[in-house]
């Protein structure tokens, strides 16, 4: 995952959250996830294949996703990913984690 202007560091660990969100909007194949993440973050997050596929495999392993081979709109062989019930729970949990953390940092930055 990259946050454009060359900086890349800030925010590992949000990749799962963004992928879960993308798939929560509907099943997608790998590159589709990547594009949807870019779209919903308005280009702020770019997920490269080298980050994307290991993450998808990891999340499938964890039981948050199920995958099946299909064919893309362009008639290419593509692997579609779909959230499981556990995946939706995980998503909800990561959202509230995110909210807690974002709030905490926001407050921290205002401290005097």
Partner DNA sequence: CGCTGTCGTATTGACATTCTATACGAGCGA
Partner DNA sequence: TCGCTCGTATAGAATGTCAATACGACAGCG
List of residues contacting DNA (CB under 7 A): 1-2, 8-9, 12-16, 29-32, 47-51, 53-58, 72-80
Residue closer to DNA, measured from CB, 12 or 96: 12
| Cβ 16 vs Cβ 67: under 8 Å | no
What's the closest the beta carbon of residue 2 comes to DNA, in angstroms? 4
What's the closest the beta carbon of residue 42 comes to DNA, in angstroms? 17
Please state, in angstroms and as integers, the Cα–Cα distance from residue 32 to each residue in 21, 23, 43, 82, 107, following that order: 13, 10, 14, 12, 35
Per DSSP, what are the bridge partners of residue 5? Answer: none
Return residues touching a second copy (CB under 8 A).
3, 7, 9-14, 17-18, 21, 25, 37, 40-42, 44-45, 94-95, 97-98, 100-102, 104-109, 111-112
What's the closest the beta carbon of residue 75 comes to a second copy, in angstroms? 28
Tokens of 94: 């990561």
Residue closer to a second copy, measured from CB, 70 or 86: 86
Instruction: Select from 32, 68, 67, 69 the least CA-distant residue to 52.
Output: 32
């Amino acid at each position: 995952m990259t946050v454009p202007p060359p900086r890349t560091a800030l925010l590992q660990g949000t990749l799962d959250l963004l992928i879960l969100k993308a798939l929560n909007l509907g099943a997608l194949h790998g590159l589709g996830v990547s594009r949807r993440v870019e779209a919903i973050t308005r280009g702020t997050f770019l997920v490269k294949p080298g980050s994307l596929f290991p993450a998808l495999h990891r999340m499938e392993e964890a039981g948050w996703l199920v995958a099946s081979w299909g064919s893309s709109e362009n008639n290419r062989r593509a692997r579609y990913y779909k959230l499981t019930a556990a995946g939706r729970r995980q998503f909800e949990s990561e959202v509230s984690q995110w909210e807690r953390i974002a709030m905490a940092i926001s407050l921290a930055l205002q401290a005097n």
